[in-house]
Amino acid sequence: MHLKDILKSPVIHFTRRTNQGFYLLIFIIQSYLIDFYIYHQDIIATGGIDTNAVLFDRPSGQVLCTLTDHSKKITSLKFVPRDELLITGSADKTVRVWQGNEDGSYGCRHTMRDHGAEVEAVTVHASQKYFATASRDSTWCFYDISTGSCLTQVGEASGQDGYTSAAFHPDGLILGTGTSEGVIKIWDVKSQARVAKFEGEVGHVGTVTAMSFSENGYFLATAALDGVKLWDLRKLRNFRTLSPYDPDTPTSSVEFDFSGSYIAVAGSDIRVYQVANVKTEWNLVKTLPDLSGTGKVTSVKFGADAKYVAVGSMDHNLRVFGLPGDEQMEEAKSESAAQ
């Protein structure tokens, strides 16, 4: 079953059980969860205020390992599947590259200290040989994964508002960054030149909290206090704005699914939109309530092949919404019944 099937089903408000609708699996995190990342379909890595990164096995819900070297909250993390690596960025101004071992543990392979303020975003290049980080110090860094070397650090002489989000384009040729003042910047990775800038009336209001490129590379979605803006990268213009929440509720997360047919938005709840016509029609097809009771969903991600939706929030829980028929969800149900 895929996302289109999930979206037809009612939300079920309980843990690790099912009827004709969703499974809802809840992983309890010992921290307020800020970000998480899904590796293939089995492993989910989470990062939060307690300074730790925790790796979970999704089918069993078991903790695989806990990474503890950061001294302040983890703000962003990404897997590098090719080399069994995990990259974490932190408010302690450092970036760490963790190497997976045969026994399932991870050890710190590199520690980078090039930023002068909180690291807010980590994004991995399409080649999986490089990654970039974006910081509140108004610079972004481009790294060689194998050596941990900073190949370049880019800032602007007039830059005063720090970077709060970043993402590589699927082809790896451009990098998008968002700032604390609602500005979107597009960079040519090879030359490190800024090739586009969206600000003022066409930009966002408030901090840019997240960004996601569509897999075909034509579109960019960005999130901030005023909702989600969709940008046509061929014409460099905003063609659609989604305003799902009231003016005092920021949109904290946005992500395209791999097909580019759906987009997930998180704020005080989780909303999934389907593309009927790219330029004119984005239909709200599912709203998942914030079951945490905090009114703040921090992150939302599509699972492999969009077979499930994972949701992080500020109540120490990571929730995974899926359907009966997913083999691993069925396995989780059996384990839950046996407990």
The CATH number of the domain where 99 resides is what? 2.130.10.10
Q: Which residues contact 137 (CB under 8 A, 6 or more apart)?
A: 115, 116, 117, 155, 162
Element (H, E) at 222: strand 219-224
pLDDT at position 56: 83
Would 305 be classed as within a structural domain? Answer: no
Kindly report the pTM of this predicted structure.
Answer: 0.86
pLDDT at position 5: 52
pLDDT single digits (tens) 197-244? 998 878 899 999 999 999 999 999 999 999 999 999 999 999 999 999
- Decide if pLDDT at 65 tops 60: yes
Would 333 be classed as within a structural domain? Answer: no
**What integer best gives the mean pLDDT of the chain?**
83
Would 104 be classed as within a structural domain? Answer: yes
pLDDT at position 58: 75
Would 234 be classed as within a structural domain? Answer: yes
pLDDT at position 109: 96
Beta-sheet strand order (sheet of 227-232): 210-213, 219-224, 227-232, 237-242
Question: What is the average per-residue pLDDT within 50-61?
Answer: 83
38 or 19, higher pLDDT: 38
pLDDT single digits (tens) 73-106? 999 999 998 888 999 999 999 999 999 998 888 9
Domain count, the chain: 1
Would 326 be classed as within a structural domain? Answer: no
Would 190 be classed as within a structural domain? Answer: yes
Would 239 be classed as within a structural domain? Answer: yes
Q: What percent of the chain has pLDDT over 70?
A: 81
- Decide if pLDDT at 329 tops 90: no
Would 304 be classed as within a structural domain? Answer: no
Domain range for 100: 32-285
- Decide if pLDDT at 265 tops 90: yes
